[in-house]
Structure 1
Amino acid sequence: MDTRSTHVAREAVLGGSGHGGRATRPVRSVIRASWSRVRQLGMSPDGAPEITPLPSDELLRRRETSGLAPLMPTLRQHLLPACDAAGQLLVVADVEGRVLWREGRTAVLHHADRLGFVGGSAWTEGNVGTNAVGTCLVTEAPVHIHAAEHYAETHAPWTCAAAPLRDPGTGRMLGVVDLSGPVQTVHAGTLSMVALAARIAELEIRSATHDRLAVLRAIAAPLLARIDGVALAVTTDGLVAAATGVVPPERVVLPSGFGGGDAWVAGLGLVTCEPVPGGWLARVQADADAGVTRLALDLSARVPVATLTAAGGTWRHELSPRHGEILLALALHPAGRSAAELADDLFGDPSRTVTVRAEVSRLRKVLGSVIAHRPYRFAHDVTATLSTGPTSALDGSSAPVVTRWRTSTTSG
């Protein structure tokens, strides 16, 4: 990759004030789109972003709860030798862009320290501008950001390649794996290597998941055989091992922190869960078609939270930043949004309708018919509310809808 051409293109498009003109060499579309999102945030390309790392106890907590820890042995095995040989870092971040693991040789670690690229720091586009970790979180696709393709000029001496890490059972994005280092460590094969390592790690999770399901299926089979009505055996993370009385979905979404008892579950309605080794035995209640009457979106917590009210109870779901962005867009546009309008809200690119439809499909597995379609909107019989605080779960977001919302609340 030509380092000099990235500087020429950067100067032409961003200029000294961040409002430059046309580049003499084409700027890659993924870079141009990211620069546009970041520029709308009011971030100066000449600035040096300040990133306050997490306290050590919070960093440790996030490592334990992120779902990424089981991937680390595989990622280390396949990527650390290349990192050491090339003089780069292996970095793994969660869906909020927080750096949870950072490993490599001492010299490159010190170099990263000077950029603020340390454990617990936040590397979303909204925090530090265009970079592989943050831009990968937006695009949900492998991406290489080299030299002056970074939005912040202070990051121009750096090169990085990142790929998404997903839970293969749910499709949910868990975070990002990244290889980063000084510009002279750039290599044409880095992005392919990172993407392949991410895929291998996901396949190992899939294999372990199949083993868990087989064990739960064997335990649940005699229990299900004695039940009249609809019941399912599900793992603690909602994967369906077996069922009776219904064609089972691959997965159901249980409330966050669920400890048993009653719960409203999209696609099933009201269920009663009792523990079995490795998961839950979920019995669908006779009046299971009771629908959600209220959705409360709370953006004042560390992550977006949707609280659902149905059948006289309330259930809390922690959401990904992307799903928080979608619900914010729907809350701000009660008449609804087309797929193209949502794509523009999320990415500043109306053509990304396929990604939008996939994300809304995942969100409907949590919320069910709360989200109507054509256009996407809250169902007419659901009361939706939005609450915020002095800080927001979407503080690191570069989605245009979030930027517009921040501007309107600040000016108002």
Structure 2
Amino acid sequence: MSYAHLDAYSRRLRAAHEVMTAAAPIPGGPRKLIRDSWRRSLEAGIDPDAPGAPAGQNPVRVQGLFESHALRPLLPLITQTLRTVADEGGHIMILTDHDGRILWRDGNAATMDRADEVGLADGHRWAEEAAGTNGIGTALALRRPVHVYSEEHLMRVLHVWSCSAAPILDPETGGLLGCVDVSGTATSLHPATVALVNATAKLAETQLALRMHERDESLRRRYESLRAPAVLLSASGRVIAGDPGGHLGPRVQLPAAGERMILRDGRVAQLEPFSDGYLLRATQTSGPSALALTFLGDGPPTAIVDGRTVLLSLRHAEILAILALYPRGLTAEQLSFHLYGDDGNPVTIRAEMHRLRTHLEVPIGAKPYHLTCPVEADFLDLRRLLAADDPASLARAYPGPLLPRSESPEIRRERDELEVQVRTCLLQRGSPGDLWAYAQTANGREDFQLLERLALSLPQADPRAAAARARLRAP
């Protein structure tokens, strides 16, 4: 794009910016990528007249975070790749964490002085929800390389800047590690810079993948010398060896070291630290019973007890869910309150507990009531995924609300909390594919904001976009 074309585009952007921030229709307006980002930023409460990014963390703390960050060893590669374009153009190079917080920067001294004025410096956070539309935040939000030119920034103070940024993904988990960015004044940073920045990010990902494979090989050699039946896992739960049939899938949700867990085939296994990873060893099934609960979505609630699948009544499912949520146990009065509210009767609970023990043959301790066996549950796994901030895994693991027919006060509270957290995470950081997966759930099918996001973010010819538009038009 020539500078004359850029000037014309700037004039159109300024006009669009005024009507966008005034909530008026945009005649012509910016490209769709920027328009969608403006909308997200305004919904997050970003003030277009803010003076810059929010105040950052203490520089000493930021330095400590960077020294332990997975991208720190790749800094020489990143600087070597970008140094020429930064030096020749008077730009600055930036590296952030997954949340858009700047961990490191370098480049032209005069440009860094100007960058300090808007918070484009160590410790400041540049995620979209913190600083509006910008190269770093928008690249992280979309998980793709982005060039944001001058007036494309939502905050007016950034209209003298242009940024080219690309996310760096972790080959171990698929999650965001951070972002690499080159920033400079609007007229000096050519839009083609984004190609170089993206190539740098891909080089970093390639190096990370090579190092991951080297760790895998080292672990595999130690594992093969054991000659013992066990599954070898990486530090994040990725399956490396010992599961030739692929029954466990590519990744295992890790319990605490030393705890037991239930595998997909109903076997009980125990996690053991092993070098830089873990071993998952099947335990004897003659020990305490093991329980796996599937309570999310529209299907009937089921339990796997020592490999035996049992369909549950709604009441029994509610009791097991509450006991799983309160591993330290509950008195009959507490359990009755969680199930029935103020109308509960502890006598009814004691009768239900007797029927549950008989039906499931699962040991349930009394005084207080508690499960005395290892427990795995899809809704507990969902909690761990929310804590891990992994939208892609979250979308795959969420088929719908927890026990949707339940009127138990405690189940309703947990169900609503999980729904809000999943929806918020996917709307803020999920890909179109993640959002489409959520759109298949009971609540996602008629979620107007979600469907509108899908209709705008997917290509017009994509069948998912057509389905979203059809749902939006439905009465």
Query: What is the TM-score of this pair, normalised by structure 1?
Result: 0.70
Cα gap change, 1:337 to 1:70, in 2 (>3 Å): same
Q: What does 1:80-229 correspond to in 2, within 5 Å?
A: 80-223=83-226, 225-227=227-229
Any gaps of 5 or more consecutive residues in structure 1? 297-308, 361-370, 379-398, 401-412
Cα gap change, 1:128 to 1:245, in 2 (>3 Å): closer
- Per-residue deviation, 1:75: 1.2
CA contact (8 A) 2:161 2:185 kept: yes
In the alignment, what sits opposite 2:293? Answer: 291
- Counterparts of 1:172 and 1:55, CA distance in 2: 26
Any gaps of 5 or more consecutive residues in structure 2? 295-320, 326-370, 405-414, 445-451, 454-475
Question: Which moved further from structure 2: 40-49 or 313-322?
Answer: 313-322
Question: Which moved further from structure 2: 8-17 or 180-189?
Answer: 8-17
- Counterparts of 1:348 and 1:171, CA distance in 2: 13
- Per-residue deviation, 1:217: 1.0
- Per-residue deviation, 1:73: 2.4
In the alignment, what sits opposite 2:258? Answer: 261
Q: Does 1:375 align with 2:373?
A: no
Cα gap change, 1:140 to 1:263, in 2 (>3 Å): farther
- Per-residue deviation, 1:119: 0.3
Q: Does 1:319 align with 2:388?
A: yes
SS of the equivalent of 2:81 reads helix
- Counterparts of 1:288 and 1:8, CA distance in 2: 66
Question: Residues 316-371 of structure 1: CA distance to partner in whole angstroms, max 9, x if unpaired?
Answer: 5632275799799x889969999xx969971699xx742435xx6xxxxxxxxxx9
- Counterparts of 1:151 and 1:266, CA distance in 2: 48
In the alignment, what sits opposite 2:351? Answer: none
Question: Of Structure 1 and Structure 2, which has the larger fraction of its residues in strand?
Answer: 1
In the alignment, what sits opposite 1:346? Answer: 427
CA contact (8 A) 1:97 1:124 kept: yes
In the alignment, what sits opposite 1:51? Answer: 54
CA contact (8 A) 2:231 2:242 kept: yes
SS of the equivalent of 1:219 reads helix
Cα gap change, 1:348 to 1:199, in 2 (>3 Å): closer
- Counterparts of 1:72 and 1:239, CA distance in 2: 26
Residue 108 of structure 2 aligns with an amino acid whose one-letter code is R
Question: Residues 261-283 of structure 1: CA distance to partner in whole angstroms, max 9, x if unpaired?
Answer: 11548857763222222321111
- Counterparts of 1:16 and 1:46, CA distance in 2: 14
Identity across the alignment (%):
27
CA contact (8 A) 1:95 1:321 kept: no
- Counterparts of 1:125 and 1:201, CA distance in 2: 23
CA contact (8 A) 1:6 1:149 kept: no
- Counterparts of 1:345 and 1:242, CA distance in 2: 32
Cα gap change, 1:70 to 1:291, in 2 (>3 Å): farther
- Counterparts of 1:266 and 1:118, CA distance in 2: 46
Cα gap change, 1:58 to 1:246, in 2 (>3 Å): farther
SS of the equivalent of 1:216 reads helix
SS of the equivalent of 1:185 reads coil
CA contact (8 A) 1:271 1:288 kept: no
SS of the equivalent of 2:183 reads strand
In the alignment, what sits opposite 1:238? Answer: 237
In the alignment, what sits opposite 2:271? Answer: 273
Question: Residues 22-76 of structure 1: CA distance to partner in whole angstroms, max 9, x if unpaired?
Answer: 5565411010011112222343323324511112343134324542223322211
- Counterparts of 2:92 and 2:290, CA distance in 1: 51
- Counterparts of 2:265 and 2:103, CA distance in 1: 36
In the alignment, what sits opposite 1:305? Answer: none
In the alignment, what sits opposite 1:249? Answer: 249
Cα gap change, 1:266 to 1:347, in 2 (>3 Å): farther
SS of the equivalent of 1:118 reads coil
Higher relative contact order (CA 8 A, sep 6+): 1
